Amino acid sequence: MNSNFYHDLALIKKDDKQFEAYKSMANTVIIAGPGSGKTRVLSLKAMALSKIHIHEPSGLACISFSRESVRELESRLKSYGYVSNKRDFIGTVHGFSLVHVIQPFAHLYPQYQVKYPIKIIDSENQQKIYNTVLQEMGVKDPKELPLIALNRCRALSLEGMSGVTINSTKIIQQAASRFEELLIESEYLDFTSIINLSATLIREQEFVRKSLGSKFPWLLVDEYQDLGKPLHEMVLELTFNAGIKLYAVGDVNQSIYGFTGGYPDFLEELKNNDDINLVELEANYRSSPHIIEASLGTLQLKSPLPNYSSKNFTDEAADFVFVTCKEDMDDQYRTVSQKIIPKLIEKGVSLNEIGIIVGSNQNAVEMAQSLQRNEIPFFIAKWNFENSDVLIWLQKCAKWCVEREQISFEELFHFWKKLLYMHKDDRRFLPDIELKVKLHKVLTKSATKTIVFDWCVFLIDQLNIRQTLADSELYPDEIKNIDILLDEARLRNLKDAKLSRFANLRTPNNEVTISTRHSCKGLEFEVVIMLGMEDGKFPYYLHKDDEIALAEDSRLCYVCVSRAKKTCILLYSSIYNVYSHKYNKHYRYDQSPSPFWSILHQNFGTNDNTFSQDSFQ
Amino acid sequence: MTNQYNPYISRVQIKNFRNFLDLDVKLDHKQVVLGENNVGKTNFLRAIQLILDRDFSDQDRTLTEKDFHDSLEDPMINGDEIEITIQIRGYEHSNKLLAQFDDAAVDSDPPTLQFRYKFFPERNDKEQIVRYTYAIYKGNGENKKFSHDDRNYINIHVIKALRDVERDLRAGKGSTLYQLVKTYDISKEDLEEISAEMQDAADKILELDEIVHIKEALQSRFNTLSGLQADTEISLQTFDVDTERLLYALQVYMGLEKRPISELSLGLANILYISLMLLLLKDRTVTPVLKDERYAELEALEGSGVLAESYEKSESGKFILKDQIAPEQYKALYEFMDENNYKFQAFTILAVEEPEAHLHPLLQRLIYREVLHKSGTSVIFTSHSTFITSVSPLNYIVHIRKVGDGSQAFSTVELGLSDWDKKDIERYVDAKRGEIYFGKLIILVEGIAEEYIIPAAADKLGTPFDDYGVIVCNVNSTNFKPYIQLLETLEIPWVLFTDGDYYRKVTLTVDGKIKTTREYHRMHEDGDVVGYAGKENVGGILLDLGIIVDIPDSFSDQDDIFKANGCFVGEYTMEVDMFKKMDANGLGTIKKIYKELTNGGARKLKNFNNALDGEDYWGALSKIEASISKGRFAQRLASEMTVDMIPGYVSEGIAEAIKIVKEQYE
């Protein structure tokens, strides 16, 4: 523990709720609204547990939903002087299930039919199984029976202690169980089966619970609302049947991954459990009072509304702007690039403080192209490639090349060595030092390549990464993922980009951020620009009759608006042109604004802040 | 043989550890650490060992309250920390070190690694101390830990002052010689061949009639005892020659008579041991002997041209590294081998405590010359032997000394002397057996007379130099500057005595040109235009060294500023200054000494006495020089000194010297 730790500890002592959350030594669930400083509280807690309360050979388990929040937690812990060790686990729920449940225990219980070596299914084989299911069920249009719905159903069908039931339709249930059968027949596991299997092992096998209980006296879970039923079951089992202390952090209102099975109900269940200490962090250190009010407004929450108070602003007027564009997304992109951003720059807003939130990856790419044409530097929070372990490692390698002191070579080496071992690459038999020299030389040489594409090609080639990853059992889609990266670097948004861009892929450098709605979680900006605020697009028209999905879209909107510290700019286009392949025909139709827009406009719209594309200035 | 210089410790910082409160010292590739007993020479090494010694256990590295500096009260209650930082340079030629220690780099010009040991309190979130623990970090910051794996690549081996070299030299698996042999990777087939031959030769014993007789006698006796039991045939065997045992049975013998180690003097055994250690610690990236298959493999690689130039084939078909290889070629060879010939290579820094132990002074000098000038291994010696210091190159000295509460180390690494001055001082240090390093204060004088008189004066003044650790260094000229530089670098306090060398300026007309000349060796007369060569010399030195920035005009102001900086300047020359101060009694003593030391007649004595009585002191001195020599005279005078005889600048200077020493040690 270093001075950063004590500094942050002093900070949270000023907020009774935060300090209460930090001090709690019982099973605890923390409900943390936007901007409530939950990462700080969680990191301090993790540090204190690991340094003071957990003793060798036990360790600390920290589980989160996304790699991004794992990364954030890790970097915060590092700043407190935490040095990673073999006893602790900090990672995703998939990682935990694989490394600490399935690998050490599944072989003891043949009844679960786990095949060795453990292979994770690649997208092609997964598609094959899915197609077989569709075929057998006589479904022609995959939209009627999306894979994601099958997986959600598989996750929800796990039985256990929880009283939450969320039903799927008969046909989905049928398809899901067929899918499950086919998967068990195959030699593979998929992400859903990894977590389901691990939850089952924990539920059914006392020895597994006991071992985990001695290994990890504390279990910290971040982003609880996104983690779904299997994790919830694991947590209940471990907390109530294995004596592990639970420290869960989440926000029911920021639950936006229901389509994967991450419903807010599970967190709600923890919240209402009398044996778990509840702390609600209510202060908002990010946004102005109006933004808080507005974001809660769009949410159309069931009462009682959280009593959030703004700690950052006193009575600054809310800054909402409503811009109606003429036709299609193109007009929105153009208005943002040519009018809104220049205006913000004029007002002295730095580019880092502007976030553009769009509806899809495709929209993000188009927005980027528009910014590029107008020479506005931008940064994409969500890329086409997945930020896999291998790609994060590549980014760290790039960072070593451009800012050497920031990255430990030893860490880079250990990942590479692990990769060689996992993939039975022959080079794993070489002495460590020889491999180290090899990596060091290649990295040193690669630093002379300043363009992302050249650098990636050189590194991947010199280290034979393709050969290593060929037929990977654990990273089945990694080569494809690398190809997407190379494609991005050769032709698209990383074309001709400097290596430093790739090295700092996760942080804007005087650049406007472009994000999808889902990936904006955890970010914050002075100004948020929300595009595609049309009825039918947001909320999605297929969600109209689905109460649960609709509520999730509301929460998604809440998440987007609450990213803003001061200003929220909304755009929609009143006319859309679409081409239908089915009827080989162009359609042109009038478009009404999203209900979210309407509510916000009702509450905050005035003549002064409502514009058309032409009148905006 | 061409050498590759191994990495070395270029800087050591120690806080709160044992003798050291706050030490920061720069080191070179070879280092001689000097100091009196009990100032912390061993602890200085121990600090480095805490980080680099492979033989230290976790427990050894976990310090205790006793390891804190004495001046700290309740250190483990107050949360004090012990910190030891070392920096390493000279490693960048090895790819292995570059890769292994990437995280430890703190500078790239020149490439520098840093390791930091910390013994510190772990605190809980109420900032209370929970326990003390140690950690070793690489580079700046505390995110990268130094591991035992790192120690496999850079480490230190300390040969202790009390050592049992005989045990280490004796044959066996633990012997140094065996370890050395193992680094050569001798082929199994070669050994098996030899062992088979040995077996054959030994089996000849069995054919000796006597042995055959023994066997048969034994067999018949046995048969009668064991009755009719089957399979009881006796056979005799010599010994089973294990190939590995061939190697560790190797022993060193010495001399024509091949005396074994146990009969060697301890001194020779020590030399042998240290020589073996140095061989063992050599960088083996460039393999001295290559088997033919390996050579062929390497030869097939890109850039192997350098091999053919560097190796020659031996009669048995192996490839032996040539003795003489040009430095550039060796560099190319090293790069090639480092790249292609993977061999585990530990870089060990050798520290030898008191290598002088059991060694005759002459041998001490030899071993030092060998190690300090020729070895590629970085070596640290600790010593209080003057024989060793006297052959140490001037830049290799680290002097540990008590300053105030703690010990401080001063190093000559950055001593900026010209090569000439350096050679002069090295020769001086050698001739004087390194005494300049051992004083608590050094008095610099210009000649033999001062060397006798000044200590005698100190005795008479009741402050004998031996009691205060003051040492008089006669530099035999007035070229004090390099000596002052050396002393300033080592922060050894000093005081300087020099003659005033009074002169008078005379203007003459020679061939119609006006010339000004100086007249020395005369007494002052009113109206003289005067100067002092001694003061000019001292002023110039102090000005050059930046000790003073300006020389005042008046001679008395000059005296003040010189004295304030430790320089005490007389008026004429020391003897003359003494004569001038003496009363009749004193002069009587001089006359007596003159009489005793000359074998001249009455007339000669009378002339001398007349010169003294007539205040012709220069004349008297020249008579002494002519018939006795100043040295012999001073030697005798020293034993007949009285306080009255001591010139003012000498007594003032002695008082100042004693004051400095007292202040330093109180």
Per residue in B507-540, pLDDT (tens digit) is 888 888 888 889 899 888 888 888 999 999 999 9
Q: How would you classify residue B45: left for phi > 0, otherwise alpha for psi between -120 and 50, otherwise beta? A: alpha
Q: Is B95 on the interface with A (CB under 8 A)?
A: yes
How does DSSP classify residue A280?
E
pLDDT tens by residue, B430-459: 887 778 888 889 999 999 999 999 999 999
CA A390 to chain centre: 17
Average pLDDT of span A488-500: 88
- CB contact, 8 Å: A9 with chain B? yes
pLDDT at residue A348 greater than cutoff 70: yes
Contact A238, A221 (CB under 8 A): no
CA distances for A299 relative to A295, A517, A595, B70, angstroms: 6, 15, 11, 67
Taken as a whole, chain A contains a residue count of 617
Is the pTM of the predicted complex or chain greater than 0.90?
A: no
Question: What average pLDDT does this structure show over A493-503?
Answer: 88
CA distance to partner chain A, nearest, from residue B115 (Å):
15
A409 at the B interface (CB within 8 A)?
yes
**Does the pLDDT value for residue A305 go beyond 60?**
no
Distance from CA of A3 to the nearest CA of B (A): 10
Residues A293 and B382: their CA atoms lie apart, in Å, by 75
Q: What is the DSSP string of B324-384?
A: ---HHHHHHHHHHHHHH------EEEEEEE-TTTT--HHHHHHHHHHHHHH-SS-EEEEE-
Mean pLDDT is lowest, of A552-566, B358-372, B571-585, B623-637, for B358-372
The string of pLDDT tens digits covering residues A39-94 is: 899 999 999 999 888 998 999 999 998 888 898 899 899 999 888 888 999 999 99
CB contact under 8 A, A408 and B130: no
Collapsing DSSP to helix, strand or coil, B157 comes out as: strand
Would you place residue A303 in the very low, low, confident or very high pLDDT band (cuts 50, 70, 90)?
very low
List residues bridging with B321 in a β-sheet: B311
Residue B311, φ and ψ in degrees, nearest 5:
-115, 150
How many residues in total does chain B contain? 666
Cβ <8 Å between A436 and B125: no
Hey, is the C-beta of B343 within 8 angstroms of any chain A C-beta?
no
- For chain B, say whether A48 makes contact (Cβ under 8 Å): yes
Residue A50: closest C-alpha in chain B = B124
d(C-alpha A323, C-alpha A331), whole Å: 11
Inter-axis angle of helices A38-48 and A3-13, to 10 degrees? 130
Q: Searching chain A, which residue's CA lies closest to the CA of residue B126? A: A6
B1 has a pLDDT exceeding 50? no
Contact in structure between A120 and A94 (CB atoms under 8 Å): no
pLDDT over 90 (residue A2): no
What pLDDT is stored for residue A302 in this prediction? 53
Handedness of CA B306, B308, B314, B318 (dihedral sign): positive
Can you tell me the distance from the alpha carbon of B29 to that of B303, in angstroms, rounded to the nearest whole number?
31
Six token digits for residue B433: 């057996």
DSSP state of B658: H
For helices A432-446 and A389-402, angle between their N-to-C axes, nearest 10 degrees: 60
Instruction: For residue B470, count CB atoms less than 10 angstroms from its CB and return exposed for 0-12, middle for 13-18, buried for 19 or more.
Output: buried
Interaxial angle between packed helices B361-374 and B266-280, expressed in degrees from 0 to 180 and rounded to the nearest 10: 10
Report chain A's mean pLDDT, rounded to a whole number: 89
Nearest CB partner across the interface for A437, out of B96, B144, B149: B96
Interface with chain A: mutation pick from B103, B113, B120, B149, highest number of A CBs within 10 Å: B103
In contact, B104 and B7? CB cutoff 8 Å:
no
Inter-axis angle of helices A452-462 and A389-402, nearest 10: 110
Average pLDDT of the residues in B630-655: 93
| Rounded-to-integer distance, Cα B332 and Cα B364, Å | 36
In this structure, are residues A577 and A588 in contact, taking their beta carbons and an 8 Å threshold? yes
- Residue B162 pLDDT exceeds 80: no
Using CB atoms, pick whichever of B100, B130, B140 lies closest to residue A433.
B100
Counting Cβ atoms within 10 Å, is residue A129 exposed (0-12), middle (13-18) or buried (19+)? buried
**Structure confidence at residue A397 as a pLDDT band (50, 70, 90):** very high
Cβ-nearest to A440 among B99, B122, B344: B99
B220-258 confidence digits (pLDDT tens) = 877 777 666 666 777 787 766 677 777 777 777 777 777
* B168 pLDDT above the threshold of 90: no
Closest among B624, B339, B79 to A440, alpha carbons compared: B339
Nearest by CB: A434 against B142, B145, B342: B342
> What is the spatial distance between Cα A212 and Cα B511, in angstroms, rounded to a whole number?
111
How far, in Å, CA of B382 to CA of A265, rounded? 73
Q: Residue B527, by phi and psi: left (phi above 0), alpha (psi -120 to 50) or beta? A: left
Torsion region of A82: left, alpha or beta (phi above 0 gives left; psi -120 to 50 gives alpha): beta
Give the Cα separation of A231 and A162 in Å (integer).
11
Query: Could you say which of B96, B102, B344 has the minimum Cβ distance to residue A409?
Result: B102
Task: Report the pLDDT averaged over residues A379-393.
Answer: 86
Q: Which residues pair with B327 in a beta bridge?
A: none
The secondary structure element, H or E, covering residue A11 is helix A3-13
Partners of A432 on chain B (C-beta within 8 Å) are: 149
State chain B's mean pLDDT as an integer: 87
- What are the residue ranges of helices labelled H in B565-628? 574-581, 584-597, 602-613, 617-627
Supply the ipTM of this predicted assembly: 0.80
Contact between chains at A408 and B125 (C-beta distance less than 8 A): no
Strand partners, B348: B155
- Contact between chains at A9 and B96 (C-beta distance less than 8 A): no
Query: How much helix, strand and coil, in percent to the nearest 5, is found in chain B?
Result: 45, 20, 35
Judge contact between A581 and A525, C-beta under 8 A: no
CB contact B108 to A (< 8 Å): no
Cβ contact B143–A408 (<8 Å): yes
